[in-house]
Copies of this chain bind each other. A is one copy, B any other.
C-alpha cells in the first residue's frame, strides 16, 4: 500500500526518533553538547590539539609569515557526486592557503546545525571532512557547534579557517602577473558547479558529472620545485575561470588572452552547460587552478603538473599581454576575439 493510499499515514507520519536527529539542546553548551562532540566529532577528528578541548587549541609554528584564510560553506545539496559539504569545506580552505604558496599547518571548523538534521548525514559529513584533512596531512585543531531551529539553516553550514606557513622562496600573488607569462590550467573546468546543478535540479545526464573537489596542495608542491618563479596561483571557485582571470588582470594591471579551443571542458559538462544555457567559463571549480608562470618555466611547470593524477589534464590556456590592461579577451577557434567580462550578478547560488 502506498503512503498516499493510506490516509492515516498522511495525517500521522511515523514519529522521528529524536536521538537520530540534531536537537536544539546539542547547541546549549551542556551535557548534550558534550555528547555530540564526544560521539560524533572526536572519533573522526582525533588529534592532540583538539583533544585538549579548551577554549582554544595550541599549535607550534616557526617564526615567519603565516597565511590565514576563512571560508563559509553553504552548498546545496549537502551531499553531491564527488563529495559533500564537509570535504568541500576542507578542500576549499586548504586551496586558499595553497594559492598563497603556503604550506597548510592546521584548520578550524565551525558548524551551524539545523535542528532535525539527521545525525547519520552529519556523521557522513564529518567523516568526509576528517578524511579530506587526513589525506592532506592537516589536522583540524579547533571546532565549534551551534544549533539553530528547524527551518533556520539548510541542514548545516560549515566555516573553515586555515593557517599555513608562507614559503619565502615561493610567493605567488594575484598582483604579480606580468606580460609574457604563460597561463596554465591544471585540469578540466566547470565540473563542480555542474555537479551541484545536476544534483540540485535532479537532472540526469548520460554520465554522472562529479565534482572536482580536491586539495591542490600536491600540485603546488610540484610547482614549488619545478617552477619556483610562478607569479600567480588562483583556484577559480565562485564565478569560475572568467572571474578569477578578471580579478588577476585588475590586480596586476595587465591584459589576458585565452584561447577558446584550449579550454578543457569535459564533453558531458559541455553538454549540460548547453542544455542549461550556462557558460563553463563562469561555472565554479574546486579542484583546479590557473597558474601564471614566466614562459621560460612554463614547460617545466606543465611537465611537473602532469606527473600527478590531479594535473594529468593540465594545459596551456593563454598568456598575459601588455595590450588591453584589465581586460580578459577570448580568442575563438575562428580567430575572432570577445571580451570575457565579470559576472554582474548571480549565476549559480549556493555552489560552495
Min C-beta distance of A231 to chain B, whole Å:
13
B-facing residues in A239-259 (Cβ within 8 Å): 239, 243, 251
Task: Answer yes or no: A344 CB below 8 A from chain B CBs.
Answer: yes
**Binary contact track A315-352/B, C-beta < 8 Å → 1, others 0:** 00000000000000000000000000011111111101
Give A342's nearest chain B residue, CB to CB.
Answer: B31
A163 interface residue (CB < 8 Å to B): yes
Bound Cα distance A350, B24 (Å) = 9
- Are A343 and B28 touching (Cβ within 8 A)? yes
Contact surface of A with B, Cβ cutoff 8 Å: 23-25, 27-34, 52-74, 95-97, 99-100, 102, 106, 108-112, 141-149, 151-154, 157, 159, 161-164, 166, 173-174, 234-235, 237-239, 243, 251, 284, 342-350, 352
Cβ-neighbour of A235 out of B55, B97, B342 (below 8 A): B55
Beta-carbon contact of B162 and A159 below 8 Å:
no
Residues of B within 8 Å of A23, CB to CB, are 345-346
A-B contact pairs, 18 of them (CB 8 A): A28-B238, A31-B343, A31-B344, A32-B345, A33-B239, A52-B173, A54-B173, A54-B174, A56-B69, A56-B99, A56-B162, A57-B67, A59-B65, A68-B142, A72-B111, A144-B159, A148-B350, A157-B157
Kindly report how many copies of this chain are found in the complex they form together: 2
Residues in chain B near residue A31, CB distance under 8 A: 342-345
A93: nearest chain-B partner, CB-CB:
B56
- A239 to B29 CA separation, bound complex (whole angstroms): 5
Residue in contact with A143 in the complex, picked from B25, B27, B70, CB distance below 8 Å: B70
Closest chain B CB from A91 CB (angstroms): 13
Whether the pair A347, B28 counts as a contact (CB closer than 8 A) is yes
A100 touching B32 in the complex, CB below 8 Å, given contacts A72-B112, A110-B72, A349-B27: no
A30→B346 contact, CB < 8 A: yes
The complex places the Cα of A182 from the Cα of B59 at a distance, in Å, of 30
**CB-defined contacts of A238 to chain B, threshold 8 Å:** 27-30, 33
Contact partners of A143 in chain B: CB under 8 A: 70
CB-nearest residue of chain B to A147 = B349
CB distance from A161 to the nearest CB of B (A): 4
Chain B residue with Cβ nearest A157: B112
Taking a contact as CB atoms closer than 8 A, the residue among B30, B70, B347 that contacts A108 in the complex is: B70
Would B68 and A163 count as touching, CB distance under 8 A?
A: yes
Q: Is the CB of A161 within 8 A of B110?
A: yes
Determine the chain B residues whose CB is within 8 A of the CB of A106 once the complex forms.
68
Whether A25 contacts B149 by the Cβ 8 Å rule is no
Further 7 A-B residue pairs, CB within 8 A, beyond A25-B344, A54-B174, A68-B142: A29-B239, A30-B343, A31-B343, A55-B96, A55-B97, A68-B163, A148-B153
- Which residue on B lies nearest to A148, using beta carbons? B74
A152 — which chain B residues lie within 8 A by C-beta? 152-154
Docked-complex contact A66 and B60, CB < 8 angstroms: yes
Q: Give Cα distance in the complex from A110 to B65, angstroms.
A: 22
Known: A56-B100, A64-B60, A146-B74. Contact between A29 and B243, CB under 8 A? yes
Residues of B within 8 A of A70 (CB): 108-110, 142-144, 159, 161
Q: How far apart are the CA atoms of A344 and B111 in the complex, in Å?
A: 21
A96 near B56 with CB under 8 A, answer yes
